C-alpha cells in the first residue's frame, strides 16, 4: 500500500499537480475584521468595543488614529456585534456616535475589559457608541463620512 501512495505522489508531481494545502482552521475562517475607513480630510480617532477572538467578554480599546482617506484594521472578533465611536482629532463636535453608552479614557491609549455596567471609573468618560453588525465573516468596514 505504501508503494502505491508514493507512486501516486510521484505521478502527480510529474504532471505538475501539487499537493493542496489544508484549509485554515475553523476558528480562522469564522472571524470578522473590523476595518475603519476615514473618508474625510481630517484625522479621526477611533475607539471600539468588541469580543476578541476566543474571549467571552467585551474589550474596549482606543484611540486608533485613522488618517484622511485611509483605512485601518482595528479589531478581530467572532461576534457579529461590535461598537464604535470616532471623533476628529482635537474636536468635540465632529463625532461619529450612536446611542450605546460606553466608557472611554482620555487622552489614551486605553484598553480594558468591559464589566457589563453602565458605570465608568472616575478617570473615564461615557460616550455614545454606534452599534455595528456584520452580516458575514471576513472584513466589516465602518466608513467615516461627513
In the chain the domains, ranked by start, together with CATH numbers, are: 28-144 (2.60.40)
Q: Give pLDDT, residue 16.
A: 40
Cell representation of residue 47: 475607539
Q: Look at residue 118 and tell me whether its pLDDT is greater than 80.
A: no
With beta carbons less than 8 A apart as the criterion, state whether 79 and 50 touch.
Answer: yes
Contacts of residue 14, defined as CB under 8 A and 6 or more positions apart, other chains included, come to none
Specify the pTM.
0.79
Q: Give pLDDT, residue 11.
A: 40
Amino acid at each position: 500500500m505504501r508503494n502505491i501512495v508514493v507512486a501516486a505522489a510521484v505521478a502527480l508531481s510529474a504532471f505538475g499537480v501539487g499537493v493542496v494545502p489544508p484549509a485554515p482552521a475553523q476558528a480562522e475562517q469564522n472571524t470578522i475584521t473590523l476595518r475603519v475607513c476615514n473618508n474625510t480630510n481630517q484625522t479621526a480617532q477611533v475607539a471600539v468595543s468588541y469580543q476578541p477572538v476566543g474571549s467571552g467578554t467585551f474589550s474596549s480599546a482606543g484611540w486608533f488614529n485613522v488618517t484622511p482617506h485611509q483605512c485601518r484594521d482595528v479589531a478581530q472578533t467572532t461576534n457579529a456585534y461590535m461598537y464604535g465611536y470616532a471623533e476628529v482629532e482635537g474636536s468635540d463636535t465632529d463625532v461619529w456616535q450612536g446611542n450605546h453608552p460606553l466608557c472611554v479614557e482620555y487622552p489614551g491609549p486605553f484598553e480594558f475589559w468591559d464589566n457589563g455596567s453602565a458605570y465608568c471609573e472616575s478617570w473615564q468618560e461615557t460616550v455614545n457608541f454606534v452599534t455595528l453588525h456584520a452580516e458575514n465573516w471576513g472584513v466589516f468596514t465602518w466608513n467615516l463620512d461627513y
